[in-house]
Structure 1
């Protein structure tokens, strides 16, 4: 599953999850772009998993077609909605060393992906997030979403003592063993999932790496900003209570072991058998690009 370099050392791998709900109109183009970018410039073994959140349009059909056309793309179908639910399901079962996700609209520039995961692959950090609020980020979005984003992150700093700058950017990665330790303690299955993961990581003294990103707002975004904001406030209240009662402390969280790896030059390999779409839960013995 995981390739080795010329010296026989196993090369660490990454699984990128793209959660989708009724995205048939953009899915094929976005996954093709992501796959081409990783094939051309990503020096580590990888796989892409489309996580279909109970779509009612042709999303699943498009996803299964992509698994037949692109060698390192897989698909899983969940019968319940929720971005957090999809990420928790796939990440918990991943055989990769690092798990990541990005939004299907690819609003975040893909050139930031290697800087996002490199500190996790090297053992330097535990989680990594793309930050639209970093002073070096280049962001194009409307005034309303800018205000909501900045207000929310200000509330996180004031209410939960957050030391990370952008909780909701759809561009994150985490060491898989760390996620498996934290996952049972994450309650949210929707948009607050990201914040809960980060707060738990901070409470357990894990290192969070931030990457400035180029980010362009998707005009077709269907996120209900008001409802999401209310749910986030409720989630913050729950996390504050958990912090005060000590329930955010997670025993036996894996600690970093720095094992720097120099990316090996990409080599041409014999094509693997054409992969087929796999139902949720069938995530064992999967090949990675290398």
Structure 2
């Protein structure tokens, strides 16, 4: 069993208090209910557990029983509220359904549901939609996240302080054990989210989240994705509506047997970001019904002076160049040199625009963010042409060139692209003008 220090809850952001306090959750007995907790057939409301923990699974016959029994033992021995464990089997083809059914018979407060179609988001959407528990959570079946973080995760929801809660592997206080490839991909993905959708939460894809049921009932009909992007879409919509997202640093140990396909999942997530960005920009999501009362106006002054901008731009450029090279190295063996360069440059360019928007040119809040990033992507195409053209010339003149010459070529090409990018950002993307005024809470 993995052991780790108990993480401390941390609220990264606390918007203005709502006009009416969120309802707190009643505190029934700690032991799991004898029935299935759904309250069907007129069962008393007190028999509904406070917490419903969903474990989505697909072909997990090897780990399912061990992990569910460990989770059940932990909740029974340490969790101070009533609970239920729901195993959500999405289209497994091995012995997973039989194991889940047996666990539901043997372990009090455990049930399982069977879905005919695959998809983690589909499993969570179905399980959460059918639950009457006031607090809904989910965690990955491999239990990579230390269970000591479960009570800090759900406590702010039980008290009514927050609307959603997420575990984060990227905050100070988190302790994470995983390989460099997954670390790079995770940080680039979350950086891309901050750059494109201006999110304020730190870790979209940690498999350790919770939401109040009344909030889920309003959010779930707006979430389209039924795969891995489900988490991200749920959080982005919640944040744009001004809901409170509580973040808990977690201790997390990578599962070496994880079957997540990084490249295909990343491409699906990029498509999800594009779709969600278009929906938000076009005003097609009814966020008003979800929105909390906004906070006061914030004014960010445009910092004058070319020298200061150059220094900040150089620092951001150095960081984004390092991100580009690390991501290129991680992706090259999967996609080839040109595709790896394009994906790495896209991720680092979006993050670069977001960082320069805030740090170099002093623009904060969401006002104009889409236009800034569209112009930033136009500047990205110039960098892509320079770096891809340089790689093409290298491969034509030196067909046997390996990763070393490629990286050197990319560094030199990036220097030229960086100078041109600064001129474009200063004169076109963020031209000198008065203060930008934004209303409500912003990602900061």
TM-score of the superposed pair, with normalisation by structure 1: 0.84
Shift of 1:12: 7.0
* Cα distance in 2, alignment partners of residues 64 and 251 from structure 1: 42
Change (3 A) 1:65 1:95: same
1:144 aligns with 2:181: yes
Shift of 1:239: 1.0
Q: Which has the higher strand share?
A: 1
* 1:65 paired residue number: 102
Equivalent residues in 2 for 1:1-290, closer than 5 Å? 4=28, 13-253=50-290
SS in 1 for 2:209: strand
CA contact (8 A) 1:85 1:190 kept: yes
Change (3 A) 1:123 1:255: farther
User: CA deviation digits over 1:80-104, x for unaligned, max 9?
Assistant: 0000000000101111001000000
SS in 1 for 2:52: strand
Q: Which has the higher contact order (CA 8 A, sep 6+)?
A: 1
Shift of 1:177: 1.0
Q: CA RMSD in A?
A: 1.8
User: CA deviation digits over 1:30-78, x for unaligned, max 9?
Assistant: 0000000000111111100000011000000000010111011100000
* 1:271 paired residue number: none
* Cα distance in 2, alignment partners of residues 3 and 120 from structure 1: 13
Change (3 A) 1:255 1:68: farther
CA contact (8 A) 2:169 2:252 kept: yes
Q: Which consecutive unaligned segments of at least 5 residues does structure 1 have? A: 257-290
* Cα distance in 2, alignment partners of residues 248 and 166 from structure 1: 23
How many residues align structurally?
A: 252
* Cα distance in 1, alignment partners of residues 227 and 290 from structure 2: 24
CA contact (8 A) 2:55 2:85 kept: yes
User: CA deviation digits over 1:109-162, x for unaligned, max 9?
Assistant: 000000000000100000000000011100000000000000000000000001
CA contact (8 A) 1:204 1:249 kept: no
**Which has more radius of gyration?**
2
Shift of 1:248: 3.0
Shift of 1:246: 1.4
Change (3 A) 1:34 1:254: farther
CA contact (8 A) 1:181 1:254 kept: no
- Larger mean Cα displacement after TM superposition, 88-97 or 243-252: 243-252
TM-score of the superposed pair, with normalisation by structure 2: 0.55
* Cα distance in 2, alignment partners of residues 110 and 102 from structure 1: 10
Q: Which consecutive unaligned segments of at least 5 residues does structure 2 have? A: 1-25, 30-44, 294-444
* 2:438 paired residue number: none
Change (3 A) 1:69 1:186: same
* Cα distance in 1, alignment partners of residues 70 and 284 from structure 2: 41
* Cα distance in 2, alignment partners of residues 152 and 40 from structure 1: 37
Change (3 A) 1:4 1:17: closer
